[in-house]
Amino acid sequence: MTATIDHIDATQRFAAHNYDPLPVVLTEGSGAWVTDVEGRRFLDCLAGYSALNFGHCHPRLVARATHQLQRLTLTSRAFHNDQLGGFAEAVTRLAGKDMMLPMNSGAEAVETAIKVSRKWGYEVKGVPTGKANIITMGGNFHGRTTTIVGFSDDPVASGGYAPFTPGFRGVEFGDSDAVAAAMDDCTVAVLVEPVQGEAGVIIPPEGYLTRLRQLCSEQGVLMVADEIQSGLARTGETFACDHEAVVPDIYVLGKALGGGLYPVSAIAADREVLDVITPGSHGSTFGGNPLASAIGSEVVAMLEDGHFQERSRQIGARLGLGLSALLGRGLEGVRIRGAWAGVDIDPGLMTGRQMCLSLMARGILAKETHGATLRLAPPLVATDDEIDMLVDAVTAVVTR
């Protein structure tokens, strides 16, 4: 284990300790599998928090990226490039919207949605300057910028970073009546994850998204859906909002939009909303660069025949069958939406971290959240045998 120890030691010495990774050092990946510096292979059941929906180094994405790498990677937005237009058209086609605005990280896309919502509120809705408010949900995770952690109710995310940006009103996730009560004439947006990932794959009550859409339409408020983790086939539909046939005013996209190769994010909305953005009012040196645009275009093309959405549903059914059998036998709760599962472990049995270490010893990589909850998000290229391997490993750990 010398190589592992050396790599971890260098990271601990020279990189800030903003993560507490499992003690494994990965060096290669293909499909649903990764290999560490010791030559051990693991089934990746986190998939980069859904950034790797298509698995590691998908040949189609690598080929598109390689072709673009050899031609042009960055121009800045001071000039046009020959990839952005196609990327923009592809994203708007997928989302059923008029326009998109490209960024890089998911947090940047959320910040962009916040800025657009406020500007729309002032210029279109007529909210008095400086009075706009946005409704957010308890248990949310939208990124780690100062603005975003300011409306988080996770003290680990927000502690030590105040003062925070005003203009946000938090309500309980899943409670549409609380959203209605929080709205006033200065409310410009409701920001919601259709499924809360970091919170433990929390699925809202049936009809919740439909009710939010109704409230926003009635009150002249933008419904902003953060589909960074839940979108692009992770939940068995192109977007998690599709489970209730709901179309938000703004889609926030990221993670899988870059195919696991590159940070790519965007928001998509109709012209009435995005026309508030004018030259110089928002931007990004790397947003919409040729490499990102080429990869993002290929991601959209891969999603359009529905294969990955169907595969996600199949994986979810297989996970549900295997994991539900463990309820009362080491598991206290199982929530599944497509190929995404939140698994609550009996805290008297072990912590989530202990579960992840035990799974790692069995060749499975996963990640815990909030103490005793395990998050599972295998790549959508995982086979039935690989999903069975995951279920068998969880079974072995909790019933040993």
Per-residue pLDDT of the chain (400 residues; tens, 9 = 90+): 899 999 999 999 999 999 999 999 999 999 999 999 999 999 999 999 999 999 999 999 999 999 999 999 999 999 999 999 999 999 999 999 999 999 999 999 999 999 999 999 999 999 999 999 999 999 999 999 999 999 999 999 999 999 999 999 999 999 999 999 999 999 999 999 999 999 999 999 999 999 999 999 999 999 999 999 999 999 999 999 999 999 999 999 999 999 999 999 999 999 999 999 999 999 999 999 999 999 999 999 999 999 999 999 999 999 999 999 999 999 999 999 999 999 999 999 999 999 999 999 999 999 999 999 999 999 999 999 999 999 999 999 999 8
What are the residues whose beta carbons fall under 8 Å from the beta carbon of 247, sequence distance 6 or more?
A: 96, 213, 241
Cis status, amide bond into 163, omega within 30 of 0: yes
Distance separating alpha carbons of residues 32 and 21, to the nearest angstrom: 19
pTM for this one?
Answer: 0.98
The pLDDT value recorded for residue 400 is: 86
Write out the DSSP string of 363-390.
TEE-EEETTTEEEE---TT--HHHHHHH
Tell me, yes or no, if the two domains 2-58+307-398 and 72-303 fold the same way: no
DSSP H helices, the chain, are: 2-14, 47-50, 59-69, 84-95, 106-120, 146-150, 155-158, 176-182, 208-219, 271-274, 290-303, 307-324, 352-361, 384-398
Residues 375 and 200 sit within 8 Å (Cβ to Cβ):
yes
Strand bridging mode 168-171 / 133-137: parallel
Maximal CA-CA distance, the chain: 63
Query: What is the rounded end-to-end Cα distance, in angstroms, of the chain?
Result: 27
Which residues are catalytically annotated?
A: 141, 226, 255
Residues 285 and 75 sit within 8 Å (Cβ to Cβ):
no
**CATH number 3.40.640.10 is the correct assignment for the domain at 72-303:** yes
What tokens were used for 266? 């965007």
- What's the order of all strands across the beta sheet hosting 331-336? 331-336, 341-345, 373-376, 367-369
**Closest listed residue to residue 202, CA positions, set 267, 140, 144, 142:** 140
The domain spans of the chain are 2-58+307-398, 72-303
For residue 257, how many other CB atoms are within 10 A of its CB? Answer: 29
The pLDDT value recorded for residue 1 is: 81
Residues 49 and 197 sit within 8 Å (Cβ to Cβ):
yes
Distance separating alpha carbons of residues 326 and 150, to the nearest angstrom: 38
pLDDT in tens, 219-251: 999 999 999 999 999 999 999 999 999 999 999
Structural class in CATH, domain 2-58+307-398 = alpha beta
Distance separating alpha carbons of residues 222 and 119, to the nearest angstrom: 12
